[in-house]
Structure 1
Amino acid sequence: MELQKMNGHSRDDGFDGLDALAEHDEFLPHKPGVKRESRFTDFEGKTSFGMSIFNLSNAIMGSGILGLAFAMANTGIILFLILLVSIAILSAYSIHLLLRSAGVVGIRAYEQLGNRAFGAPGKMLAACIITVHNIGAMSSYLFIVKSELPLVIEAFLGIPKDTGEWFVNGNYLIMIVSAGIILPLALMKHLGYLGYTSGFSLSCMVFFLISVVYKKFNTPCPLEDDHHNVTPAALDHAVLNATCEAKLFTLNPQTAYTIPILAFAFVCHPEVLPIYTELRDATKKRMQSVANVSILAMFLMYLLTALFGYLTFYDRVESELLHTYSQGGSLDVLLLCVRVAVLVAVTLTVPVVLFPIRRALLQILFPEKPFSWLVHIGIAFGLIFVVNILVISVPSIQDIFGLIGATSAPSLIFILPGIFYIRIVPEDQEPLRSRPKIQAACFAALGVIFMIMSLSFIIIAWVTGASRNKGGH
């Protein structure tokens, strides 16, 4: 029960009087008829419930969806389902902690929660974690563009691979896509305006899901391909059954690497508070509904994509599902359209991921200054430039992404929401030994365990020289 009192005000509808009073006092302090300067932290309240769902769903949806079938192959169907359900529930609870903390103090910026909880060091820590994590996510999306777009252009033009033409050079293509598509969208003043592109991006991923389901019933098993030279005639009956048999539980050395893939698939926490800020008729309950619907929708998409992708290729599914479909040689028209859809989806996701980074930098560099188009454009251009340089100059940043993901994702999902809740919610409302705060402490401890486990696996992989192709968010 969240029945709290402040100056005689009390509510028991799940969004207490303190939360409501803080929100109205903090975000709408101006008097009627008195105009004030617009600031980037202002509560806009212009984005509809549906558009907010599109934006948050698009923030959740990441490049990791291409690796979920591989994750299921290394856990088994039942274990994968258990892990996916658990992480989805934990992610929803994490968002609840964030919204509860933000409502108590009337703050809707992740960095300001850190400032309220631990002062300037907390603010800087939150801003740095968000920046590092989202730059890694943006880079992973552009790496997909760099690797997949040249193949699509070659297929459309009917030219052989490795011709050396500039228009099939991935480095040139990501610069063109960044300048022509990503930068203009990133210059939008409000995140809510991207609801339309987020909806289109999600539509592309729905098409991807439908294609995965369709291919399950139109792809022979075992797969005939030029790379492995495996044909039904070359296999005896026992080997054939083993190759095309779904496993309910699987434990192998790669099973541990699938847990970070699943956890990172639900990282959307840097975008939660900016979306909350722009939500129309915003309350904690309404924003939690946005989060729950988004998480449920992505849970279903993840589950169906992983299940049908796995049931198509079984143990032969690769870490990047689209690449698995191309084992049989040339791509058919459907797969070519799927590649285009995935490229569109990841490209339109980059501007949504960029907004929290810009907010974090604004909180650090210009916390009290009015909105400036020069600063707004300059930060967007600088971020996109840095990400392009990173993607172009580093041939393989798998281990770097693994290190970033093993530290930033547990921090954003588990550790920061838990400790912020403990520090921000007053003890006279919820004592330190109350059940909600004990749950938050256990939640943060779970994040620490997860971080240590992930880092340990990465270090072991480095020491042993094992190469793991993990999906990123």
Structure 2
Amino acid sequence: MTTPPSYGSTPSTPPPSGMTPTPRRRRRRHTHAPGASVLSSFSNLANTIIGSGALAFPAAFASMGMIPGIVSCLVSATTAAFGLWLLSRCATVVGVRPGDEGRKASFNEVARLAFGKGWVTRVFDLAIAIKCFGVSVSYLIICKTLLPQVSVTFAHLFHTKIPDGSFLLSQTFWLLATAPVVVPLSFMRTLDSLRFTSQIALSSVAYMVIVVIGWYFIKGPDPNRGEVVLARFGPNTLAAFPVQVFAFTCAQNLFPIYNELKDRTQQKMNLVIGSSIYGAAAVYEVLGIVGYLTFGSKVSSNVISMYPAESFVVAIGRLGIVFLVGLSYPLQALPCRSCIYLLTSGIIKGKKHKPVPAPVDYESEEDSDESSLLGNENDMLVPKVGDAAHGPSATEMPAKKFVGFTIGIVVAGYTIAWLVDELDVVLGFVGSTGSTIISFILPGFFYFRLFRNEPGHTKWLALALGVYGVIVMTFCLTFNILNLKTGPGKKDVPV
């Protein structure tokens, strides 16, 4: 009997019809093979993490004091990194079981393996979709709010004045002005396609850090600086905790990065996760410490607004923030689109995509046991049967739905951003639920469920992370509800 040709090889004689995949299918497999580098994966994950929330870290440090601020930031980073690591381990189980060939890792797939099909997986998808959509809209609102201010700053630098009623002061104009950049990027199918825009966004973060550090060491502390304390406790101290916890949210893009990483191993995934999380933590720590030392307790929730508007370097920094949030929009649109597709897959009928036939794998039943799928951390993270790298995902989005959902997300997002000036209250509740679910609760419970028969303490640490997520979500929701009733707390007093 002739041995079937391996993937990537060409048979010496034409195979009989129906025996092997057609050349067209082979070409499609090649198109979808993972090809993202570690640098590309780091750029996209780090850009997902670092957003405009970085500007609030000096105020968070001012609310709790220097030492608690530093420690809280490191603890938040470590819990987030552990959650991402758990998800990367859960991803290795996807596409391995018979009948799952060709499937790619996603929250939906892991939830299906952990808890089975049902309404639970749809609730997870809905939470992620709402969270990502809300954040993407907030990015557009930031752009339309900051760009008129940047225009005034540059006009002042060039000794001109923008007349009242000018389109340069119109938020609607600047909102539409972002569309030629944001909309095309939103139609990218993979995160790897966004690596260059992520690197541009990260360069603006680096510039902002340089400005904050350079200003402090060249100009010194602000003459009107408030007091700087090592620790404090007051009404705003607890309010600063969610700022740091949610500043590391990026789990919505962990699975796309896993699927796209070339020659992926657990060591590569660990490198991507560790460098992204702790690189972001370094940025937050520097901004928090130096910003707090510069302005003390008088620092605002947007540290860049504390610097003189007539400074050219500060004006560039403000423009950099616009680039940061604007170029981060597609990183929220991509997981939002995927979750909406999975939510509607049973409602909106379309052409079904059958799993790609897997090559014959002659291994014993013992070798296919779930525990053997874990492997060594140095092993290639490629399923033994039906590798997702060798073909489209079983849930790959058809072109018409891809375009339709993308248009819907963009149009709805721009419409809300045009009609609304702030989403603070809504985002507070969305972050309290969506961010904690995908960062702590699901990673912990997924791992505990899928690896419950594995020896060691990791599964118990995973369960503890899930419980921690439930506690954080309860605390943040309670705090948000109290804020609605009583309003923001007054400035706290050092102890």
Give the alignment's TM-score, normalised by structure 1: 0.82
| 1:436 matched to 2:437 | no
> 1:159-189 CA deviation, whole Å, 9 max, x = no partner?
6578122332112311220x20011111123
Matched-pair contact (CA < 8 Å) for 1:74–1:258:
yes
Matched-pair contact (CA < 8 Å) for 2:138–2:423:
no
Query: In structure 2, what is the equivalent of residue 190 of structure 1?
Result: 190
Gaps of 5+ in 2: 1-18, 96-103, 347-351, 354-395
Aligned length: 413
Note closer, same or farther for the CA distance 1:380–1:39 as it changes in structure 2 (3 Å cut). Answer: farther
Query: In structure 2, what is the equivalent of residue 460 of structure 1?
Result: 482
Distance 2:489 2:144 in 1: 21
Query: In structure 1, what is the equivalent of residue 15 of structure 2?
Result: none
Distance 1:376 1:300 in 2: 37
Note closer, same or farther for the CA distance 1:468–1:190 as it changes in structure 2 (3 Å cut). Answer: farther
| 1:201 matched to 2:201 | yes
Query: In structure 1, what is the equivalent of residue 106 of structure 2?
Result: 109
Query: In structure 2, what is the equivalent of residue 21 of structure 1?
Result: none
| 1:150 matched to 2:121 | no
Counterparts of 1:370-389 in structure 2, within 5 Å, are 371-389=397-415
Which of 274, 283, 288 is equivalent to 2:256?
274
> 1:83-135 CA deviation, whole Å, 9 max, x = no partner?
11111111111011111111123351112212222223232122111111111
Note closer, same or farther for the CA distance 1:139–1:161 as it changes in structure 2 (3 Å cut). Answer: farther
SS of residue paired to 1:74: helix
Note closer, same or farther for the CA distance 1:160–1:299 as it changes in structure 2 (3 Å cut). Answer: same
Query: In structure 2, what is the equivalent of residue 87 of structure 1?
Result: 76
Matched-pair contact (CA < 8 Å) for 2:141–2:421:
no
Q: CA deviation at 1:49?
A: 1.1
Which of 57, 61, 68 is equivalent to 2:57?
68
Matched-pair contact (CA < 8 Å) for 1:114–1:125:
no
Distance 1:207 1:407 in 2: 32
Which of 22, 34, 41 is equivalent to 1:45?
34
Task: Give the residue type in structure 1 aligned to 2:197.
Answer: T
Deviates more, 1:147-156 or 1:78-87: 147-156
Pair member with larger Rg:
2
Task: Give the residue type in structure 1 aligned to 2:121.
Answer: K
Q: CA deviation at 1:145?
A: 0.7
Counterparts of 1:13-52 in structure 2, within 5 Å, are 35-36=24-25, 44-52=33-41
Query: In structure 1, what is the equivalent of residue 274 of structure 2?
Result: 292
Matched-pair contact (CA < 8 Å) for 1:68–1:305:
yes
Note closer, same or farther for the CA distance 1:244–1:462 as it changes in structure 2 (3 Å cut). Answer: closer
Distance 2:405 2:288 in 1: 37
Q: CA deviation at 1:332?
A: 1.1
Cα RMSD, aligned residues only: 2.5
Q: CA deviation at 1:424?
A: 2.2
Gaps of 5+ in 1: 1-29, 224-229, 231-242
Q: CA deviation at 1:468?
A: 8.9
Q: CA deviation at 1:452?
A: 1.0
Deviates more, 1:331-340 or 1:372-381: 372-381
Query: In structure 1, what is the equivalent of residue 230 of structure 2?
Result: 248
Deviates more, 1:51-60 or 1:392-401: 392-401
Q: CA deviation at 1:36?
A: 2.7
Note closer, same or farther for the CA distance 1:121–1:371 as it changes in structure 2 (3 Å cut). Answer: closer
Note closer, same or farther for the CA distance 1:286–1:122 as it changes in structure 2 (3 Å cut). Answer: farther
Query: In structure 2, what is the equivalent of residue 321 of structure 1?
Result: 303
Q: CA deviation at 1:220?
A: 5.6
Matched-pair contact (CA < 8 Å) for 1:219–1:312:
no
SS of residue paired to 2:83: helix
Distance 2:340 2:325 in 1: 23
Task: Give the residue type in structure 2 aligned to 1:451.
Answer: M
SS of residue paired to 2:111: helix
Note closer, same or farther for the CA distance 1:155–1:422 as it changes in structure 2 (3 Å cut). Answer: same
Task: Give the residue type in structure 1 aligned to 2:449.
Answer: R
Note closer, same or farther for the CA distance 1:315–1:442 as it changes in structure 2 (3 Å cut). Answer: same
Note closer, same or farther for the CA distance 1:355–1:31 as it changes in structure 2 (3 Å cut). Answer: farther
Give the alignment's TM-score, normalised by structure 2: 0.78
Matched-pair contact (CA < 8 Å) for 2:144–2:172:
yes
Matched-pair contact (CA < 8 Å) for 2:141–2:422:
no
Query: In structure 1, what is the equivalent of residue 136 of structure 2?
Result: 138
Matched-pair contact (CA < 8 Å) for 2:429–2:477:
yes
| 1:58 matched to 2:47 | yes
SS of residue paired to 1:36: helix
Note closer, same or farther for the CA distance 1:64–1:162 as it changes in structure 2 (3 Å cut). Answer: farther
Distance 1:255 1:113 in 2: 37
SS of residue paired to 2:307: helix
Counterparts of 1:207-286 in structure 2, within 5 Å, are 207-219=207-219, 221-223=221-223, 243-286=225-268
Distance 1:67 1:398 in 2: 14
Distance 1:103 1:422 in 2: 14
> 1:406-458 CA deviation, whole Å, 9 max, x = no partner?
11111111111111112223x4445xxx6322222211111111111111111
Note closer, same or farther for the CA distance 1:313–1:120 as it changes in structure 2 (3 Å cut). Answer: same
Distance 1:253 1:465 in 2: 11
Matched-pair contact (CA < 8 Å) for 1:63–1:140:
no
Matched-pair contact (CA < 8 Å) for 1:139–1:391:
yes
Structure richer in helix, relative to its length: 1
Distance 2:239 2:167 in 1: 37
Q: CA deviation at 1:374?
A: 3.0
Which of 332, 341, 345 is equivalent to 1:353?
332
> 1:280-333 CA deviation, whole Å, 9 max, x = no partner?
00123321221111112111111111111111101110011122224xxx4211
Query: In structure 1, what is the equivalent of residue 127 of structure 2?
Result: 129
Q: Once the two structures are aligned, what percentage of the paired residues are identical?
A: 27
Task: Give the residue type in structure 1 aligned to 2:110.
Answer: L
Distance 1:360 1:39 in 2: 23
Deviates more, 1:387-396 or 1:330-339: 387-396
Query: In structure 2, what is the equivalent of residue 422 of structure 1?
Result: 448
Note closer, same or farther for the CA distance 1:39–1:304 as it changes in structure 2 (3 Å cut). Answer: farther
Distance 1:67 1:295 in 2: 18
> 1:26-47 CA deviation, whole Å, 9 max, x = no partner?
xxxx96765438999x963111
